[in-house]
């Protein structure tokens, strides 16, 4: 690399001294880098890459344009490849790689890199051909061929891109070879045509590609001659048309290609959309000289519309805007003030062509057939209006354009009837806006005109003596289109979602009331309002659920407008919401729930009681479920769930607490389930599920949510006449299901479920001890199901039993007893040994005692002391453990209590030591034995906290020293006791004899220091 860098620097110095241009310096740097690379032993491919990189860097440093930089890179790589013995194809590939690589470093997109790479390949191949004596024409052909081949093989170019690259390369080579503009264009067209055919295009597609390349080459050559952009566009269009004519393409296609070529030149030349459209129109008009002047003008207008649509697409405009631009520019070209020769086009004729252009623009950007028809009608209406049509002519042309576009897009006859009627409404609204009417008047006119048009469509029946007619569309269908047309007009005029729905309701009712009963008209208006609201909400980007809610609210509001009852409004809301949910592709279950929610909300606004609201929710949900195709059982389930949700919502609106909202949901769901004759167990399950959902919406904690679910299930089971045991089972099952849906851990879930089971037992009349037992059993059962270890199961069972006992106002001693019983029972079920049961039972006692102490206002130290006393007592009385074991249990329980109270590790150690000493004293231990027990408990607490062996020993020694001092030992006795405790802890932790002695010595010296003894005494 140093050799290459030195060669580049030397070449630059020499080149500058010789007065080289920037381009020459870049070429010299590339050549020097390539030669040095070969000398340094690099392969020809590597040398070419080095040459390209050096040329690009030199060109960039000199401030050359991006295009000049990539050209320099490709040329340098090709030159090095040629001098290194590469074949023509290898040179082209090397040039392509170098150009694309330099383009990437300049920030070019992958597509741009592919274009410069293909161009460089063509130039390299042409240079190699020139060195072999090929003529300029032959070089151009070879350049086009290699540009297309490299574009396909190295950059995966599409067929169209390959043709474009081939044409550009051929044109550039022909220019470099001194050929005329006509020759450059001809060679570009031929190269593009050939490349397109080779890439698999049809002959017509290839000819179109050739025509486009011919036009581009003509414009590029003209720009070098100083032609204006407009003149370039004119000549490009003429050249493209000539090529298409020689390829025997139709006159229509010749005009289309001429317009496209001219518009592209204007776009690349920086002209705005009007400039592009006018140039396209003039080029297409000229190309269609074989046509009559009228058809020529239409060809020009069509080209203008296509150019406008393409420009709108480039600018990221939505499909509707692209289609509208196509129609507007087509109409402009055909109008009296258009850029072409004066024509005698009427407003109606202009409307026809504008509609066609808009539909064509819509097709290109993927409009549905309905959208194409709408765009065509709108364009025809606008084109007609600005060219002197009357209001009726404008409507007529909009209808015709929409029907033609719809039919072309594959609509049935009935669909074109609808499309025409909607177009009529839109045209009426457009005309109203043009004369200054406000948005409500625009919507009103649209809502009147559309159904009037629809009502005019009839079926003909040939009788024996006469022909009779019958309407194609019912009054309900006419009312629906009135609402749709009004809401569409309102949306275009800037109405909100609510306003569009109201406009739809007003229009539908106004049309219906003349032909229907009041109830029928109100129903039609509500359906129209709901559909308008959901459609508008979808356009606004709202979620499917929000669309359904909007539909329901709009339908209910419509019903209120037309003086319908609360029940009627709720039913209409549910129906509209269900329809909207279906249109938004929601699941059948969600459709039913949406319908129920909408009905309940409407009922609440209309003044229904909570019970009436959830009844309405049930009815609406069932109706929606039926329409959605759910089987009967699931229809009833949907009704039950909707009733529960509605009851919760009503409770929330009433300002009730989250617990009360959950209870209301459970009660309503159970009541509704009972109406459907579900079993008592099923009623309880529904109640629990509804309560959990209500609690979740109300923001209750996971624990409270679980309790609410269990309570609701228990209440439902009791109401259904189930036994106390069945009530408890229902509450447990519901709480378990509810807890599973929360973020609680396994232990927390088990505790919450135990509490729920205990609450159910209490509600069923169980005594306090029985309630505690039920809570512990349920908690242990779930803990076991969740895979917790046996000891954890006993801890959770004991805690649940104690908590339930506390709620039942048991004394502290009874709470402790309940905890021990529950832990023992859980341990037995889990298969614990007697020793393990003793540990679990005493631990449960300690935990229960500390919780009770905390509830009575005790501080952390007092809680720990209570825990230690209880654990030691149970260890002695229930499990007949030795005094050492009692002390151990006390220390362990005290440490756990400190942990629960948030104490530090040192707090845990201190509490464990104190509790163990106290327990040992109760058991009749001597002072020395109590001190030793305290040390062992301190070490155990440190071990449980995960400390290392040295810290465990230190904790034991320090605790024994402190306890010994408290119990009246002399300093010397305390020192010895401290060292002994440390040594015992070190031994238990597995330290070697030397480490044990060190631990003993440290602890004894520390104890002596704390006693204030002199250093000599500490050392002794």
What is the share, in percent, of the chain residues with pLDDT greater than 70?
Answer: 100
What is the pLDDT of the chain when averaged over all its residues?
92
pLDDT in tens, 412-426: 999 999 999 999 999
State how far the Cα of 760 lies from the Cα of 765, in Å rounded to an integer. Answer: 9
Helix or strand or coil: residue 170? helix
Q: Tokens 């597509």 correspond to what residue?
A: 111
Whole-number pLDDT of residue 669: 94
Whole-number pLDDT of residue 64: 93
State how far the Cα of 818 lies from the Cα of 6, in Å rounded to an integer. Answer: 91
For residue 134, count CB atoms less than 10 angstroms from its CB and return exposed for 0-12, middle for 13-18, buried for 19 or more: middle
Mean pLDDT of 761-770: 93
Whole-number pLDDT of residue 856: 86
Whole-number pLDDT of residue 365: 87
State how far the Cα of 184 lies from the Cα of 172, in Å rounded to an integer. Answer: 8
Contact 528, 508 (CB under 8 A): yes
Whole-number pLDDT of residue 343: 60
State how far the Cα of 73 lies from the Cα of 96, in Å rounded to an integer. Answer: 9
CA 676-679-682 angle, to 5 degrees, is 95
Alpha carbon distances (Å) from 620 to 214, 531, 651, 724, 803: 67, 17, 20, 35, 44
What is the share, in percent, of the chain residues with pLDDT greater than 90?
Answer: 76
The contacts of residue 31 (CB under 8 Å, 6+ apart) are 11, 51, 76, 79, 80
Lookup: tokens for 177: 């070879």
Q: Give the confidence band of 902 by pLDDT, cuts at 50, 70, 90.
A: confident
Mean pLDDT of 376-394: 88
Ordered alpha helix ranges (H), 720-811: 724-740, 746-763, 768-785, 790-807
Contact 112, 132 (CB under 8 A): no
> Closest Cα partner for 216 from 198, 197, 192, 200?
192
Whole-number pLDDT of residue 807: 86
What pTM did the predictor assign?
Answer: 0.64
Mean pLDDT of 294-322: 92
pLDDT in tens, 530-541: 999 999 999 999
Q: Give the confidence band of 411 by pLDDT, cuts at 50, 70, 90.
A: very high
Span of 148-152, 398-402, 740-744, 952-956 with lowest mean pLDDT? 740-744
Contact 896, 847 (CB under 8 A): yes
Q: Which residue has the higher pLDDT, 340 or 969?
A: 969
Mean pLDDT of 208-221: 95
Largest CA distance in the chain: 140
Contact 56, 39 (CB under 8 A): no
For residue 43, count CB atoms less than 10 angstroms from its CB and return exposed for 0-12, middle for 13-18, buried for 19 or more: exposed
- Backbone angle region of 541, left / alpha / beta, with phi > 0 → left and psi within -120 to 50 → alpha: left
* pLDDT at position 508 over 90: yes
Contact 918, 865 (CB under 8 A): yes
Q: Give the confidence band of 98 by pLDDT, cuts at 50, 70, 90.
A: very high
* pLDDT at position 652 over 70: yes
The number of angstroms, rounded, from the C-alpha of 992 to the middle of its chain's C-alpha atoms is 61
**468 DSSP β-pair partners:** 461
Contact 556, 570 (CB under 8 A): yes
* pLDDT at position 362 over 90: no
Whole-number pLDDT of residue 524: 95
pLDDT in tens, 164-201: 999 999 999 999 899 999 999 999 999 999 999 999 99
pLDDT in tens, 855-896: 889 898 888 999 899 999 999 988 888 888 889 888 888 888
**467 DSSP β-pair partners:** 462
Whole-number pLDDT of residue 641: 92
DSSP-derived secondary structure letter, 334: H
Span of 49-53, 321-325, 340-344 with lowest mean pLDDT? 340-344
For residue 769, count CB atoms less than 10 angstroms from its CB and return exposed for 0-12, middle for 13-18, buried for 19 or more: middle
Helix or strand or coil: residue 798? helix
Angle, helix 251-268 to helix 229-246, in steps of 10 degrees = 150
Whole-number pLDDT of residue 515: 86
Kind of pairing between the strands at 458-462 and 467-471: antiparallel
* pLDDT at position 806 over 60: yes
State how far the Cα of 562 lies from the Cα of 512, in Å rounded to an integer. Answer: 12
* pLDDT at position 342 over 60: no
Mean pLDDT of 943-953: 91
Neighbour count for residue 251 (Cβ, 10 Å): 18
Helix or strand or coil: residue 134? coil
- Backbone angle region of 459, left / alpha / beta, with phi > 0 → left and psi within -120 to 50 → alpha: beta
Neighbour count for residue 339 (Cβ, 10 Å): 17
pLDDT in tens, 8-54: 999 999 999 999 999 999 999 999 999 999 999 999 999 999 999 99
Q: Tokens 């405009």 correspond to what residue?
A: 317
State how far the Cα of 643 lies from the Cα of 694, in Å rounded to an integer. Answer: 11
Contact 95, 123 (CB under 8 A): yes
H/E run at residue 110: helix 110-131
Neighbour count for residue 973 (Cβ, 10 Å): 16
State how far the Cα of 165 lies from the Cα of 508, in Å rounded to an integer. Answer: 58
Lookup: tokens for 745: 């851990």
Whole-number pLDDT of residue 292: 87
Torsion of CA 704, 709, 711, 716, to 10 degrees: 160
Beta strands in 416-478, from DSSP E residues, in sequence order: 458-462, 467-471
Mean pLDDT of 820-825: 92
For residue 104, count CB atoms less than 10 angstroms from its CB and return exposed for 0-12, middle for 13-18, buried for 19 or more: middle
Q: Tokens 């194609």 correspond to what residue?
A: 472
State how far the Cα of 158 lies from the Cα of 166, in Å rounded to an integer. Answer: 12
State how far the Cα of 108 lies from the Cα of 452, in Å rounded to an integer. Answer: 58
Contact 796, 783 (CB under 8 A): yes
DSSP-derived secondary structure letter, 41: T
The contacts of residue 939 (CB under 8 Å, 6+ apart) are 952, 953, 955, 956, 981, 984, 985, 988, 989
């Amino acid at each position: 690399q140093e050799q290459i860098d030195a060669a580049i620097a030397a070449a630059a110095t020499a080149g500058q001294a010789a007065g080289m241009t920037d381009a020459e310096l870049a070429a010299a740097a590339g050549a020097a880098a390539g030669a040095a690379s070969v000398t340094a032993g690099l392969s020809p491919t590597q040398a070419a890459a080095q040459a390209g990189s050096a040329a690009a860097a030199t060109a960039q440093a000199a401030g050359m344009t991006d295009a000049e930089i990539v050209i320099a890179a490709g040329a340098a790589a090709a030159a090095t490849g040629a001098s290194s013995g590469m074949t023509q194809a290898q040179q082209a590939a090397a040039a392509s790689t170098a150009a694309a690589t330099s383009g990437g470093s300049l920030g070019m997109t992958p597509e741009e890199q592919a274009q410069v790479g293909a161009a460089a390949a063509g130039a390299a191949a042409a240079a190699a051909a020139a060195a072999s004596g090929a003529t300029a024409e032959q070089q151009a052909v070879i350049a086009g061929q290699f540009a297309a081949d490299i574009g396909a093989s190295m950059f995966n170019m599409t067929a169209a891109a390959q043709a474009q690259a081939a044409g550009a390369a051929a044109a550039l080579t022909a220019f470099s070879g001194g050929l005329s503009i006509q020759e450059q264009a001809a060679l570009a067209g031929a190269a593009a045509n050939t490349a397109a055919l080779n890439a698999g295009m049809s002959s017509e597609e290839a000819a179109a590609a050739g025509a486009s390349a011919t036009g581009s080459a003509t414009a590029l050559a003209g720009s070098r001659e100083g032609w204006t952009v407009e003149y370039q566009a004119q000549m490009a269009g003429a050249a493209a048309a000539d090529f298409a004519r020689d390829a025997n393409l139709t006159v229509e296609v010749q005009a289309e290609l001429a317009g496209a070529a001219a518009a592209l030149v204007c776009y690349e030349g920086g002209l705005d959309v009007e400039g592009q459209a006018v140039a396209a129109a003039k080029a297409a008009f000229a190309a269609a000289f074989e046509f009559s002047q009228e058809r020529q003008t239409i060809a020009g207008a069509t080209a203008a519309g296509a150019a406008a649509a393409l420009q709108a697409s480039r600018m990221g405009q939505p499909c509707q805007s692209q289609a509208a631009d196509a129609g507007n520019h087509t109409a402009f070209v055909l109008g009296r003030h258009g850029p072409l020769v004066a024509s005698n086009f009427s407003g109606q004729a202009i409307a026809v062509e504008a509609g066609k252009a808009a539909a064509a623009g819509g097709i290109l950007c993927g409009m549905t057939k309905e959208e194409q028809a709408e765009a065509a009608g709108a364009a025809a209406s606008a084109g007609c209006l600005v060219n002197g049509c009357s209001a009726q002519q404008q409507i007529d042309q909009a209808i015709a354009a929409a029907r033609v576009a719809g039919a072309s897009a594959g609509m049935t006859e009935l669909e074109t009837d609808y499309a025409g009627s909607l177009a009529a409404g839109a045209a009426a609204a457009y005309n109203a806006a043009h004369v200054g009417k406000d948005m409500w008047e625009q919507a009103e006119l649209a809502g009147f005109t559309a159904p009037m048009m629809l009502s005019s469509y009839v079926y003909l029946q040939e009788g024996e003596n006469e022909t009779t007619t019958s309407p194609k569309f019912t009054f309900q269908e006419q009312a629906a289109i009135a609402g749709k047309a009004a809401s569409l007009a309102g949306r275009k005029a800037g109405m909100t979602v609510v306003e569009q729905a109201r406009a739809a309701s007003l229009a539908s009712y106004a049309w219906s009331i003349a032909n229907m009963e009041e109830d029928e008209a109100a129903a039609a208006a509500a359906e129209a309002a709901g559909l308008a609201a959901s459609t508008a909400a979808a356009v606004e980007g709202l979620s499917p659920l929000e669309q359904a809610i909007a539909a329901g609210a709009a339908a209910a509001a419509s019903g209120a407008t037309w003086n319908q009852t609360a029940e009627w409004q709720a039913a209409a809301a549910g129906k509209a919401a269900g329809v909207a949910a279906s249109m938004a592709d929601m699941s059948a279950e969600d459709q039913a729930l949406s319908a129920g929610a909408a009905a309940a909300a409407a009922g609440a606004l209309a003044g229904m009681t909570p019970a009436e609201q959830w009844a309405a929710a049930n009815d609406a949900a069932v109706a929606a479920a039926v329409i959605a195709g759910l089987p009967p059982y699931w229809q009833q389930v949907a009704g039950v769930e909707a009733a529960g949700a509605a009851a919760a919502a009503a409770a929330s609106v009433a300002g009730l607490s989250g617990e009360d909202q959950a209870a209301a949901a459970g009660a309503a769901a159970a009541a509704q389930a009972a109406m459907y004759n579900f079993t008592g167990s099923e009623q309880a399950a529904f109640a629990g599920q509804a309560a959990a959902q209500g609690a979740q919406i109300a923001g209750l904690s996971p624990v409270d949510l679980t309790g609410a679910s269990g309570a609701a299930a228990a209440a439902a089971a009791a109401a259904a006449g189930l036994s106390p045991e069945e009530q408890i089972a229902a509450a447990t099952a519901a709480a378990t299901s509810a807890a599973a849906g929360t973020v609680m851990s396994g232990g927390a879930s088990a505790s919450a479920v135990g509490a729920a089971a205990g609450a159910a037992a209490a509600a069923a009349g169980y005594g306090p001890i029985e309630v505690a037992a039920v809570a512990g059993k349920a908690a242990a059962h779930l803990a076991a199901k969740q895979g917790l270890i046996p000891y954890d199961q006993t801890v959770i069972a004991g805690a649940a039993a104690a908590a339930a006992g506390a709620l039942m106002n048991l004394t502290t001693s009874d709470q402790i007893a309940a905890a021990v019983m529950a832990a023992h029972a859980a341990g037995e079920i889990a298969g614990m040994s007697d020793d393990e049961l003793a540990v679990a039972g005493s631990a449960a006692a300690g935990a229960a005692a500390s919780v009770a102490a905390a509830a009575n206002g005790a501080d952390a130290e007092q809680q720990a002391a209570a825990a230690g006393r209880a654990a030691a007592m149970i260890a002695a009385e229930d499990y007949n453990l030795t005094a050492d074991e009692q002390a151990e249990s006390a220390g362990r329980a005290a440490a756990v209590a400190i942990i629960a109270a948030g104490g530090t590790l040192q707090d845990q150690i201190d509490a464990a030591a104190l509790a163990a000493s106290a327990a040992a004293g109760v058991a009749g231990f001597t002072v020395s034995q109590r001190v030793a027990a305290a040390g062992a408990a301190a070490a155990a607490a440190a071990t449980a906290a995960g400390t290392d062996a040295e810290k465990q020993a230190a904790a034991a020694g320090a605790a024994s020293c402190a306890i010994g001092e408290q119990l009246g030992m002399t300093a010397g006795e305390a020192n010895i006791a401290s060292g002994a405790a440390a040594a015992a802890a070190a031994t238990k932790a597995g330290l070697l004899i030397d480490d044990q002695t060190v631990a003993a010595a440290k602890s004894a010296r520390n104890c002596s220091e704390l006693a204030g003894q002199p250093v000599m005494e500490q050392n002794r």
